[in-house]
Amino acid sequence: MKLKGAQILMKMLQEEGVDAIFGYPGGAVLDIYDALMDTDFKHILVRHEQGAVHAADGYARASGKVGVCLVTSGPGATNTVTGIASAYLDSIPIVIFTGQVPTHLIGNDAFQEVDIVGITRPCTKHNYLVKDVRNLAKTIKEAFHLARSGRPGPVLVDLPKDIINSTTTFKVPGEVRMRTYNPTYKPNIRQIQKIIDLVAKAKKPVIFSGGGVNLSKAHEELTKFARKARIPVTSSLMGLGGFPGTDELWLGMLGMHGTFRANMSITECDLLIGIGVRFDDRVTGKTDEFAPNATIVQIDIDPTSIQKNVPVSVPVVGDCRISLSMLNDLLEKLDLTGVDEKRAPWLKQIHDWKSTTPLAYKQGDTIKPQYVIDTLYELTGGEAIITTEVGQNQMWAAQYYHYKEPGQFISSGGLGVMGFGLPAAIGAQVGAPGKTVVDIAGDGSIQMNIQELATAVQYKLPVKVAILNNGFLGMVRQWQELFYQGRYSFTKFEHMPDFVKLAEAYGATGLRATKPEEVKKVLKLGLETEGPVIMDFVVEQEEGVYPMVPAGAPIKKMLLV
């Protein structure tokens, strides 16, 4: 069958099971957009290419499938970079197709030419410039394979206009075989046995679970393992949802804004089992004093994650789910009689930390942001998909909502991109149509990709946005308060749009709460209203996120309220 490059792209997207594409057209991709008209893909026309990538990211996390973006050359391509870098740091499977000037013009500083392959080399798992239409199908197949396998990540495919327009014989390529790429899924059983031996001996074990657990959907295996061996679980921001947030063994998140009991447990534990984590600096604080008494085990599919930031006694290279199910098999053979009594002092200690120093706030005359999230949790029964912006809103969303499954908490963890939450919510809603999707936002972040509200309205995607409106770039203000003697250098917004009117201008619904007693009513109404809604919660201006570990301090040195 003779096909044009653009048609081959469409065929291959079908082959890969793609249903949604987040994109924005332009000169270099006119032919692709023309071919798109003859297909059934759900194409979501975003309002900014950054939004397309964050939406594909949210889609991938909510659906478990690969997110797909399509943008034009030059500015279209450069606008994707922030989204790609975010997906790279969070290991989210996305394939980004960029238009490119015709091959004979590459290198000429042609109109809307940029070397996007060069620009994105350090923030993609891999990228390609297709120079021959005969390689197109195989390249697309490889791109999807790389994006979703091993440690997932974004893969970019740059498509020069002449390639898209040339014709070749199309045949669906066979299985991808790359001699340079072969991730290790199944861990070494001897290493797994070592973990079991350590579990049998440990008095004060802790599991530290991360984004890898969510990516490999290892939540059931993790829950089974933790409950059976009676080991408390904490997680990184990216790990939320990997273990039920309501379980008695749940410690809450750890790290800079971790709970007191999580950070204390890490500091006192004698065995730390890290699963799908990279021991990021926001988690470890000062590494020398991180888990100082513990034997550290680390399970990860990416060998570069292991031993990168902290020394590890038992390194295990493998997929989190497979590793945990092997652990569970071996655990069956372990005599666990008396494990309850054995763990009792440790779990009691943790319980005491929780009761003396819980996450807490006092709801007074002005709305507390934490109260908004508490109430949202209650009203949604813990069932909503929560996306976040970045800053205090993100931390409170992590602390006060409780998650039960992977893909339920969607946040730009590694890069911390303000403006992520709204487009990610749109993508998540496309990927999980029946679900309630709420973006917990700050008044600063929401203004970074507010234009995507038009996308939500156009496609009738009923995402809800809860703005915790404190009039400040709150998280930065908090650092200035604590570490710069309260010198608020350019963190106060002297002018703020009227978010209710703004919502209405976009054709969405706008609601506002200014008093604590209005919070529940507004949330309830917002959640029940059809279509996209912005809820503007005018909250306490100078509320802080606590506990807080100052950057570079040991995680037991927490500032408490």
Ligand X SMILES: Cc1ncc(C[n+]2csc(CCOP(=O)(O)OP(=O)(O)O)c2C)c(N)n1
Residues of the shown chain interacting with ligand X in the complex, contacts defined by CB under 6 A: 389-393, 416-418, 442-445, 468, 470, 472-476
Closest to ligand X by CB, 441 vs 508, is 441
How big is the CA angle at 42 (ends 40 and 46), to the nearest 5 degrees? 145
Which helix H or strand E contains 74, and what residues bound it?
none
Q: Does 196 bind another protein (CB under 8 A)?
A: no
Is the Cβ–Cβ distance between 557 and 534 less than 8 Å?
Answer: no
- x/- map, 149-178, another protein, by CB under 8 A: -----------------------------x
Q: Does 107 bind another protein (CB under 8 A)?
A: no
Q: Which of 307, 349, 357, 366 binds another protein (CB under 8 A)?
A: 307
Q: Which residue in the block uniquely carries the two structure tokens 């915790």? A: 468
Q: Does 96 bind another protein (CB under 8 A)?
A: no
- Select the binding partner of residue 415 from another protein, ligand X, none (C-beta < 5 to 8 A, by kind): none
Closest to another protein by CB, 62 vs 317, is 317
How big is the CA angle at 200 (ends 194 and 206), to the nearest 5 degrees? 85
3-state secondary structure of 310: coil
Closest to another protein by CB, 183 vs 471, is 183
Q: Does 104 bind another protein (CB under 8 A)?
A: no
Closest to ligand X by CB, 496 vs 505, is 496
* N- to C-terminal Cα separation, the chain: 68
Active site residue 161: yes
Is the Cβ–Cβ distance between 147 and 176 less than 8 Å?
Answer: no
Closest to another protein by CB, 155 vs 249, is 155
The single residue of 14, 112, 349, 458 carrying the catalytic annotation is 112
Distance, in Å, from the CA atom of 515 to the CA atom of 509, rounded to the nearest integer, reads 19
Shortest Cβ 452–another protein spacing (Å): 31
Closest to ligand X by CB, 3 vs 283, is 283
The single residue of 161, 204, 404, 464 carrying the catalytic annotation is 161
- Select the binding partner of residue 180 from ligand X, another protein, none (C-beta < 5 to 8 A, by kind): another protein
Q: Does 121 bind another protein (CB under 8 A)?
A: yes
- Select the binding partner of residue 525 from another protein, ligand X, none (C-beta < 5 to 8 A, by kind): none
Two tokens, residue 171: 């045949």
The single-letter DSSP state of residue 42 is E
Which helix H or strand E contains 232, and what residues bound it?
none
The single residue of 10, 264, 448, 475 carrying the catalytic annotation is 475
Is the Cβ–Cβ distance between 234 and 207 less than 8 Å?
Answer: yes
Q: Does 303 bind another protein (CB under 8 A)?
A: yes
Size of the residue set binding another protein (CB under 8 A): 17
- Select the binding partner of residue 443 from ligand X, another protein, none (C-beta < 5 to 8 A, by kind): ligand X
Torsion on CA atoms 396, 402, 407, 411, rounded to nearest 10: 10
Q: Which of 6, 35, 146, 251 binds another protein (CB under 8 A)?
A: 146
Phi, psi of 33, deg, nearest 5 = -65, -35
Q: Which residues pair with 250 in a beta bridge?
A: 233
- Select the binding partner of residue 126 from another protein, ligand X, none (C-beta < 5 to 8 A, by kind): another protein
DSSP β-ladder status, 314-317 and 409-410: unpaired
Shortest Cβ 252–another protein spacing (Å): 31
Q: Which residue in the block uniquely carries the two structure tokens 């807080």? A: 548
Residue nearest to ligand X (CB): 442
Active site residue 111: yes
Shortest Cβ 184–another protein spacing (Å): 11
- Select the binding partner of residue 389 from another protein, ligand X, none (C-beta < 5 to 8 A, by kind): ligand X
Q: Which of 2, 38, 40, 122 binds another protein (CB under 8 A)?
A: 122
- Select the binding partner of residue 393 from another protein, ligand X, none (C-beta < 5 to 8 A, by kind): ligand X
- Nearest CA to 444 out of 511, 509, 496, 498 is that of 496
Q: Which residues pair with 298 in a beta bridge?
A: 274, 315
Closest to another protein by CB, 180 vs 489, is 180
Active site residue 112: yes
Closest to ligand X by CB, 86 vs 209, is 86
- Select the binding partner of residue 178 from another protein, ligand X, none (C-beta < 5 to 8 A, by kind): another protein
- Select the binding partner of residue 185 from ligand X, another protein, none (C-beta < 5 to 8 A, by kind): none
The dihedral region occupied by 107, where left means phi > 0, alpha psi between -120 and 50, and beta the remainder, is left
Distance, in Å, from the CA atom of 40 to the CA atom of 20, rounded to the nearest integer, reads 9
Q: Which of 308, 435, 512, 520 binds another protein (CB under 8 A)?
A: 308
Active site residue 248: no
Active site residue 49: yes
Shortest Cβ 472–ligand X spacing (Å): 6
Around Cβ 1, how many Cβ atoms within 10 Å?
Answer: 9
3-state secondary structure of 489: coil
Q: Which residues pair with 209 in a beta bridge?
A: 235, 275
The single residue of 49, 113, 142, 452 carrying the catalytic annotation is 49
Around Cβ 314, how many Cβ atoms within 10 Å?
Answer: 18
Shortest Cβ 446–ligand X spacing (Å): 7
Shortest Cβ 278–another protein spacing (Å): 12
Helix axes 392-400, 474-483, angle to 10 degrees: 100
The single-letter DSSP state of residue 539 is B
Two tokens, residue 138: 């195989």
Cα–Cα separations (whole angstroms), residue 24 to 50, 135, 187, 287, 426: 10, 25, 42, 44, 15
Find the length of the chain.
561
Is the Cβ–Cβ distance between 379 and 419 less than 8 Å?
Answer: no
The residues assigned a catalytic role are 49, 111-112, 161, 475
Q: Residues interacting with another protein, by CB under 8 A? A: 117-118, 121-122, 125-126, 129, 146, 178-181, 302-304, 307-308
